[in-house]
Amino acid sequence: MTTSTNDIKTMHVNKGKELRIITGENFTFKILKGQMEWNGCELSNGTAQPIQQNTWLSFYAIEESDVEIINSKNCYIGIKSVVEEYYSIFNNLNDNRSHFAEDEPAQIILVTGPARSGKTTFTLHQLNYQVQYGYNPLFVDLSLSTNIITLPGCIGCTVVSNTFSPTTQLDYNFNQPLVYCCGTTKIEDKNPLYYHYIELLAANCLMKMNSDQSVKKSGMIIRCPFISMEVIKKVVNSFKVDLVYVMDSEQLLNEIESSQFDHCVTSSFVNKPTGIPLCIEYNSFIRRLQHRAVNNYFYGCSPESPLCPRSSVLLSLSAKVVTIKSLNNENAGFLPIGQTASQKPYVEEKERQDIKKNDVYALLNCTTVDEVLNDTTNVIGFVTVENISISTEDQNISLQIEILSPHPVEELPSTVLVATGMKIEHDI
């Protein structure tokens, strides 16, 4: 019999420095003295905070602090920090509000940049700062790969009224988001469905800003990976973006400044955060993040406070399961990657025998296959296949599919379930 021992460290962090950590198994973090923040969210003192294994963290010391760290894989104090720069940017934005007319909306901001440039870190800082100053910004995430609001393969928007923290950023306990399912974590230029959903999101977001006084005064922040200048133009023009923050790319900044948009747009360069390199196998790292997001949706991201209650329901006999493909039927099980904006995806019903355990599906608010791409269709939740049983009685074969939902569900409506290409993976 072997017994495991905890690796306990106590570290002193000077004001203005960052403590950077890779978490290990059964990791916990506690502030013993002082004040620290994570991506603009101030952390409570004296409370041990359990955080998932293999998470990259950076804690900024607002004042001189002592911390207790249990079971870290790597831990060190960084030489440089961008937190003061990010806070200064927020202060400048906040100061600009005082010059707006009473009925004038706050700015609509786009955060973009190449991969690994710090888009998520910068965005979380700005959202958390706004919430702590009493604002409720509208947040839009257009990343299909690592979406903060919803599951991979989808884009969405939500009003942010609570800060994101290391233990709640993926708990989905904030306001009910508006989500559109693209069904694939990869995007190509001129994808008609992706463009279509950008337009729908933009229309809904601008309507929300006009109708909700709190959101109007708070503004909108959009996180979007750089795919191409065509996508950037689509986002800027559709959302009527006022200000573009470009992460860590002078070349991209120059491209944006030399581009023609439908209205006047200001752009600015932002330095990327420094710290622990993500990993050599970046694609594997992203895939792990995607599976973790799926797992967190169904089981909660904090070991101490899992999402509950969960409910198991049977797939309604009247419900239809469909798969949407591109015209040439490639990428079966995913939504389309079209060649031109004029192409329409091919929709077909999916055989129930094709459904596999741990498959994740988006639950749509529509009743027929024809409504899949209707402008009113959006994701109302996600379910996963927990159990499949096949019985043969009197020479009749019946297929029973048990669906797991993270929220109470009396019964599944007669809707269409669309595969997202993601699975529950317990070993991540």
- DSSP letter string over 382-422? EEEEEEEEEEEETTEEEEEEEEEESS--SS--S-EEEEEEE
pLDDT band at 285 (very low <50, low <70, confident <90, very high): confident
| pLDDT score of 350 more than 80 | no
List the single range of 16-25, 152-161, 270-279 with lowest mean pLDDT: 270-279
**Residue reference for tokens 């440089």:** 80
Strand bridging mode 396-405 / 311-314: antiparallel
Helix (H, G, I), strand (E, B), or coil: what is residue 367?
A: coil
**pTM value?**
0.85
Q: How high does pLDDT run on average in the chain?
A: 80
d(CA 361, CA 154): 11
CB atoms within 10 A of CB 277: 9
Structure tokens given for 36:
């620290």
Phi-psi region of 6 (alpha: psi -120 to 50; beta: other; left: phi over 0): beta
Q: Helices (DSSP H) in 26-155: which residue ranges? A: 83-97, 119-132
Structure tokens given for 252:
């991209």
Question: Fold for domain 83-270?
Answer: Rossmann fold (3.40.50)
With a pLDDT cut of 90, the percent of the chain lying above it is 43
Q: How far is CA 101 from CA 96, 104, 105, 188, 241, in A?
A: 11, 5, 8, 40, 18
Contact 401, 355 (CB under 8 A): yes
d(CA 105, CA 201): 18
| pLDDT score of 312 more than 70 | no
Contact 60, 18 (CB under 8 A): yes
Q: Which CATH architecture has domain 306-423?
A: Beta Barrel (2.40)
pLDDT at 379: 82
Burial class (CB in 10 A: 0-12, 13-18, 19+), 283: exposed
Strand bridging mode 138-141 / 154-159: antiparallel
> Which helix or strand (DSSP H or E) is residue 326 part of?
none
Segment 76-96 shows an average pLDDT of 93
Q: Out of 3.40.50.880, 3.40.50.1950, 2.60.120.1030, 3.40.190.80, which CATH number does the structure's domain 8-81 have? A: 2.60.120.1030
Residue 227 DSSP label: -
| pLDDT score of 417 more than 50 | yes
pLDDT at 180: 87
pLDDT at 346: 53
Domain borders along the chain are: 8-81, 83-270, 306-423
| pLDDT score of 91 more than 80 | yes
| pLDDT score of 6 more than 80 | yes
Segment 110-137 shows an average pLDDT of 95
pLDDT at 107: 96
pLDDT in tens, 32-49: 999 999 999 999 999 888
Looking at 153-299, which runs of residues are DSSP E strands? 154-159, 178-181, 220-223, 243-247, 266-270
The single-letter code of the amino acid at 341 is A
Helix (H, G, I), strand (E, B), or coil: what is residue 244?
A: strand
d(CA 168, CA 276): 22
Segment 61-76 shows an average pLDDT of 94
Looking at 272-366, which runs of residues are DSSP E strands? 311-314, 320-325, 346-349, 359-364
